Amino acid sequence: MITEIGEDIFRAKQFLDTDELVAIPTETVYGLAANALKIEAVSKIYLAKNRPSFNPLILHVGSKVELKKYVQSIPNKMERLIDTFMPGPLTILLPKSNLVPDIVTAGSSKVAIRIPNNQLTLDLLNQLDYPLAAPSANISGFTSPTSAKHVLDSLEGKIPYILNGGNCQIGIESTIVGYDDMTHRVILYRLGGLSIESIEACIGEAMETKLQHSSPETPGQLKNHYATTTPMYLGDLNQLIQQFDGKRIVVIRFSDEIQIPVWKQYVLSKSKNTIEAAQNLFSTLREADNQSADVILAEYVPEEELGLAINDRLRRASLNNDG
Ligand code: TXA
Ligand code: MG
Amino acid letter for position 32: L
Nearest CA to ligand 1 atom 13: 135
Given a cut of 50, whether residue 216 has pLDDT beyond it is no
Question: Which one of the ligands is nearest to 192 CA?
Answer: 1
Ligand 2 centre to CA of 29 (Å) is 9
C-alpha span between 241 and 252 (Å, rounded): 12
0.85 exceeded by pTM: yes
Task: Classify 299 as helix, strand or coil.
Answer: coil
Given a cut of 80, whether residue 219 has pLDDT beyond it is no
Q: What is the pLDDT of residue 319?
A: 84
Task: Classify 150 as helix, strand or coil.
Answer: helix
Which of 51, 58, 110 gets mutated to test ligand 1 (max ligand atoms within 8 A of its CB)? 58
Residues with CB under 6 A from ligand 1: 26, 28-29, 31, 55-58, 91, 93, 105, 108, 110-112, 116, 134-136, 173-174, 176, 217-221
Atom of ligand 1 nearest to the CA of 111: 29
Atom of ligand 1 nearest to the CA of 138: 14
Q: How confident is the model at residue 212 (pLDDT cuts 50, 70, 90)?
A: low
Given a cut of 50, whether residue 218 has pLDDT beyond it is no
Q: What is the pLDDT of residue 285?
A: 97
**Average pLDDT rounded to a whole number, residues 262-288:** 97
Given a cut of 70, whether residue 224 has pLDDT beyond it is no
Q: What is the pLDDT of residue 217?
A: 43
Summarised one tens digit per residue, pLDDT across range 75-130 is 999 999 999 999 999 999 999 999 999 999 999 999 999 999 999 999 999 999 99
Question: Which one of the ligands is nearest to 121 CA?
Answer: 1
Q: How confident is the model at residue 226 (pLDDT cuts 50, 70, 90)?
A: confident
C-alpha span between 91 and 170 (Å, rounded): 14
Atom of ligand 1 nearest to the CA of 59: 26
**Average pLDDT rounded to a whole number, residues 41-61:** 96
Out of 61-65, 170-174, 183-187, 228-232, pick the least confident: 228-232
DSSP secondary structure, 243-266, as one string: HTTTS-EEEEESSSPPSS--SEEE
Given a cut of 50, whether residue 215 has pLDDT beyond it is no
Given a cut of 60, whether residue 254 has pLDDT beyond it is yes
C-alpha span between 205 and 185 (Å, rounded): 9
Q: What is the pLDDT of residue 292?
A: 96
Q: 111-139 burial by CB neighbour count: b if 16+ within 10 A, else e?
A: bbbbbbbbebbbebbeebebbbbbbbbbe
**Average pLDDT rounded to a whole number, residues 198-210:** 97
Q: What is the dihedral of CA 9, 15, 18, 24, to 10 degrees?
A: -70
Q: What is the pLDDT of residue 261?
A: 86
Question: Which one of the ligands is nearest to 103 CA?
Answer: 1
Which residues have CB atoms below 5 A from the ion given as ligand 2?
A: 136
Q: How far apart are the first and last CA of the chain?
A: 38
C-alpha span between 60 and 54 (Å, rounded): 19
**Average pLDDT rounded to a whole number, residues 173-189:** 97
Atom of ligand 1 nearest to the CA of 96: 29
Q: What is the pLDDT of residue 214?
A: 43
Q: What is the pLDDT of residue 235?
A: 96
pLDDT exceeding 90 applies to what percent of the chain?
Answer: 90
Mean of the per-residue pLDDT values for the chain? 94
Ligand 1 centre to CA of 261 (Å) is 39
Per-residue CA distances from 16 to 13, 131, 165, 236 (Å): 5, 11, 17, 47
Atom of ligand 1 nearest to the CA of 134: 6
Given a cut of 80, whether residue 321 has pLDDT beyond it is no
Given a cut of 80, whether residue 322 has pLDDT beyond it is no
